Amino acid sequence: MTQYLYLVRHGEQLDAEHGVTDGPLSPRGRRQAALLAERLGGVPLTNAWHAPSTVATQTADIVRERLPSVDPKPSALLFDCVPSGPTPEVPRAFSGWFASATDAEIEAGRAQMADAFAEFLSPGGQERHDLLITHNLVIAEFIRHAFDAPAWRWLGLTQAHCGLTVLKARTGRPITLVSHNDLAHLPVELRTGLVEPLPV
């Protein structure tokens, strides 16, 4: 059978630009989450999970408030992480990215994502529509995994806050990327979290 996996980056965090690693949603982030919930209103969601971080939990709470049939549960497999480490194949432009990541953090991230694939990408039985509210690098690694790309290729994949990425998994077939970073539910002024601003 078919599984649809809806991957969402949390809403914008308050004061993230000041180096705060986790915190509450900004007012703009709350609006992003509300519009995401409206977008998901027509999806027959089967299950929902969120990273236990404050910003992902608050995003999930707003989705729950507006979609009472959806009850997102926390999962440590969705915490932000570094999915792999530097190798000779990593382009020089990305090499500095690993400067602040320790070997232990990289190994923990690699193990976490292997468990996340086993837990959340599991087609079979009845058709499923599962929602994951998580972090930028986790979504990037799911996409890299879907294409069986080189281990470093999550680098360069950036998701906007409350952007919607959809994977389609079917038993015995390659995973399909249905959409990536879909922002149709967000007006331009709410499209945050990208490396470069989108043209108006």
Tens of pLDDT, residue by residue over 100-124, are: 899 999 999 999 999 999 999 988 7
Does pLDDT of 197 surpass 70?
no
* 6's tokens: 């809806």
Range 117-141 average pLDDT: 94
Tens of pLDDT, residue by residue over 72-105, are: 999 999 999 999 999 999 998 888 888 889 999 9
Does pLDDT of 149 surpass 70?
yes
Tell me, what's the pLDDT at 4? 97
Does pLDDT of 32 surpass 80?
yes
Of 112, 135, 111, the closest CA to residue 50 belongs to 135
Tell me, what's the pLDDT at 39? 97
Residue 87 and residue 97: Cα distance in Å, rounded? 12
Tens of pLDDT, residue by residue over 38-63, are: 999 999 999 999 999 999 999 999 99
**Residue-range domain boundaries for the chain:** 2-190
Do the strands 2-9 and 164-170 form a parallel or antiparallel pair, or are they unpaired?
antiparallel
Tell me, what's the pLDDT at 97? 84
Does pLDDT of 20 surpass 70?
no
The topology under which CATH files domain 2-190 is Rossmann fold (3.40.50)
Which neighbouring-strand residues pair with 130? 5, 47
